[in-house]
Amino acid sequence: MTLIPQLEQHSRKSSFREKLIEHLFISELLKLSWLEGGCSLEIAKPEVDNQGYDLIAEQNKVIRHIQLKAAHREAKTAKQTVHSALFSKPSGCVVWVYFDEKTLELGPFLFFGDTAGLPLSSIEGFKVAKHTKADTKGVKSERPQIREIKKIKFDKYETVREIYKLLFEPVAASCYVAYDSKSPSAKLSVESDNSQEGFPKILRIEQWSKHPEQKNYKIIRAYLDLENMNGSVQLNDFRRHCSDNGISKFNAHYASMKTDKGNSHGRIFYDKNGEVYIWPRVREEIEKFF
């Protein structure tokens, strides 16, 4: 048997490597499901690969259609192609797995998607991809079902545990409220405690107001600007507006501004049916300082 030099092996055996990275990633997810005591993670693969995803993963009643991309840590790839069908899935996402070329250790990870239970943002605004090879006239024709997603649109995470939580940790039920959708500013009937005790990190708002360069300040300001222009704020518009104004890693910051758990930033926002709201108690504080 002839041994292939390692660098050459990466190019000559790319299909083998792609499958290997996929299995390593799946094993890490299964290991985390085991360690957390649930052992409830289910993994399946599509029989036909024409809908833009490589894996179907289900846990915590969250079904993720996942498209996997892989690249070694020194790769210069600046974009990925995504099938438009992935945008129609209830919780579709793309996980871009980086790996060490010598050891095949996984990480870091890039994520393009939303919190568990929410679909990808609108397909609008993403460039239609073209074939890599030109026709006889030298023209590279478009691929109508494929979109180009630039690397800057992905959020970066260092560990597979962060990706695991992002994939399967649903929004807490206490984040939902009964409201009059025709009057977002009307008095809300909040299902969880709306007192200051129910918002233990609310004092951070005053601190953020003193630092306009800080991400949390910029995100709150972006929300208020959109609300002032449109009367209400749609999640897709909110995400796009932040991205257009240079606020990176929106998904991660937004998720951290919806909960008081752990090292999160604290509950500021909640969303329902694609529309984003500020908790009434939090709005009182924001109006004092913003």
If residue 21 lies in a helix (H) or strand (E), which one and from where to where? helix 14-35
**Chain segment 55-76, per-residue pLDDT in tens:** 999 998 899 999 999 999 989 9
**Residue 112 is which amino acid?**
F
> For residue 241, which amino acid is it?
H
Q: How far apart are CA 230 and CA 111, in angstroms?
A: 29
Q: Is residue 3 over pLDDT 60?
A: no
Residue 204 has pLDDT above 90, yes or no: no
Give me the pLDDT at residue 8, please. 57
Cα dihedral across residues 94, 155, 168, 267: positive or negative: negative
Answer whether residue 167 shows pLDDT above 90: yes
* 90 upstream amide cis, omega within 30 of 0: no
Task: Indicate the residue type of 166.
Answer: L
Q: What is the pLDDT of residue 190?
A: 38
| pLDDT at position 187 | 36
Comparing 119 with 31, the larger pLDDT belongs to: 31
Average pLDDT over residues 100-121: 87
Give the tens place of pLDDT for each residue, 240-276.
Answer: 999 998 888 888 889 889 888 766 788 899 988 889 9
Amino acid in position 81: T
Domains, the chain, ordered by start: 6-168 (3.40.1350), 174-289 (no CATH)
- By the 10 Å C-beta count (0-12 exposed, 13-18 middle, 19+ buried), 134 is classed as exposed
pLDDT at residue 173 tops 70: no
CA 289 to CA 186: how far, in whole Å? 22
Q: What percent of the chain has pLDDT over 70?
A: 84
Question: How large is the average pLDDT for residues 158-185?
Answer: 60
pTM of this structure: 0.61
